[in-house]
Amino acid sequence: MRIWRSVVIGASLALSGCVMGYGPCLFQQPVKNNLTGHVHFRDYPAADGVDNVPVLALDKTAYIYAPAQSHFCLPANDVQLVGVAEFPKNVIENSHVSVDGVLFQEGSARQHTPFVMSVTTILPVPGTTGVRVQDGK
């Protein structure tokens, strides 16, 4: 009976913080994370006009541990990117990129997704190209 109990406790500890089929939950700041997906520049209404913000549409749903909202990991399919003064010339609309940075929960009116990533580096995934958007077309 002790062995069975030990196995159950060990399995529970090993799987804690994991979402079956997706792996471990991602932690928020100060832990650095890497996410991949496609960059889209989306317009959101704002008090002083329109916010045009970069949003990373993730390749795979990320599960993020958000203790302020739940003791479970919350799913994220889109993450707003902040802290990028200027995107590299090869990162355009619908570019497939890999982004390193820290995640945190939205906390102001200028943050339009449940989770926001403060970007450290953003690099195109080799072998992919984006769609160049000119004059809003």
Alpha carbon of residue 34 to chain centroid: 8
Pull the structure tokens for residue 123.
């690099």
- DSSP, collapsed to helix, strand or coil, labels residue 117 as strand
Task: Label residue 57 by pLDDT band (50, 70, 90).
Answer: very high
Pull the structure tokens for residue 70.
């739940």
- Looking at domain 2-124, which of 3.30.450, 2.20.25, 1.10.8, 2.40.50 is its CATH number? 2.40.50
Average pLDDT over residues 99-126: 82
Q: What is the DSSP string of 50-98?
A: EEEEEEEEEEEEEEEE-TTT-SSEEEEEEEEEES-SS--TT--TT-EEE
pTM of the full structure: 0.70
- Within 13 Å and on the Cβ side, how many CA atoms surround 14? 6
pLDDT above 90 as % of the chain = 11
d(CA 15, CA 63): 14
Pull the structure tokens for residue 53.
């913000």
81: pLDDT strictly greater than 80: yes
Report angle CA 47, 114, 29 to the nearest 5 degrees. Answer: 115
What pLDDT sits at residue 92? 80
What pLDDT sits at residue 79? 92
d(CA 130, CA 38): 9
